[in-house]
C-alpha cells in the first residue's frame, strides 16, 4: 500500500530546521554569488548567528517551498529573493561587520541596537 499525502508523516521540528539549513547552504552555494570587485556586497559564513539574516532567509525558504509547489519560482525570484537579497548582502545589511571575518557576537559587550524601543504601555492597542 502506498502512502498518500494525508498519510505522510509530519516532519519533526529538527527535520524542518535541517531542511531550512540545507536549503540555505545549497542555495547560497549554487545560486548566489556575493563577492564583487567593489566590495559592496557581504556574506558571513556564520549566517546563522545573525538574527535578521535568519529571519529573512527563513521567510525566503518558506516562500520558496510554496513557489515550488505552485510552479511560481519566477515570481519568487522577482518579488522575494531580489527584494531580500538587496538588504541581506548590502553594506548596511546584517553582515556589514563581517567584511573581514565574523564579528557580530564578538561585540556583545559594546553593542548598542540601531533602534531602541521602550516598553509598550499595558493599555495600548493598535
| Contacts for 54 with CB less than 8 Å, ≥ 6 apart | 47, 48
Reported as type and span, the H/E element at residue 114 is none
Confidence grade of residue 57 (pLDDT, cut at 50, 70, 90): very high
Please give the pLDDT value at position 6: 55
- In this predicted structure, the answer to whether residue 19 has a pLDDT above a threshold of 80 is yes
Please give the pLDDT value at position 92: 87
Please give the pLDDT value at position 27: 84
Q: Is residue 119 part of a domain?
A: no
- In this predicted structure, the answer to whether residue 35 has a pLDDT above a threshold of 70 is no
Please give the pLDDT value at position 37: 62
Q: Is residue 44 part of a domain?
A: yes
Please give the pLDDT value at position 105: 52
User: Cell match 559592496: residue?
Assistant: 40
Of the candidates 14, 99, 20, 84, the residue with the CA atom closest to the CA atom of residue 53: 84
Q: Is residue 57 part of a domain?
A: yes
The total of structural domains in the chain comes to: 1
Q: Is residue 45 part of a domain?
A: yes
Q: Is residue 20 part of a domain?
A: yes
Q: Is residue 121 part of a domain?
A: no
CA distances to 55, 112, 115 from 68, rounded to whole Å, are 20, 39, 36
101 beta partners:
99
- What's the sign of the alpha-carbon dihedral 55, 58, 62, 65? positive
- Domain containing 84 equals 12-107
Q: Is residue 85 part of a domain?
A: yes
Q: Is residue 126 part of a domain?
A: no
Amino acid at each position: 500500500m502506498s502512502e498518500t499525502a494525508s498519510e505522510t508523516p509530519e516532519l519533526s521540528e529538527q527535520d524542518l530546521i535541517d531542511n531550512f539549513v540545507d536549503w540555505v547552504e545549497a542555495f547560497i552555494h549554487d545560486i548566489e554569488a556575493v563577492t564583487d570587485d567593489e566590495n559592496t556586497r557581504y556574506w558571513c559564513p556564520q549566517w546563522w548567528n545573525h538574527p535578521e539574516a535568519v529571519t529573512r532567509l527563513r521567510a525566503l525558504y518558506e516562500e520558496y517551498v510554496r513557489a515550488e509547489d505552485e510552479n511560481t519560482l519566477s515570481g519568487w525570484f522577482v518579488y522575494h529573493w531580489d527584494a531580500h537579497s538587496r538588504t541581506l548582502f548590502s553594506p548596511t545589511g546584517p553582515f556589514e561587520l563581517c567584511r573581514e571575518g565574523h564579528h557580530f557576537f564578538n561585540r556583545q559587550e559594546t553593542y548598542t541596537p540601531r533602534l531602541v524601543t521602550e516598553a509598550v504601555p499595558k493599555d495600548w492597542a493598535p
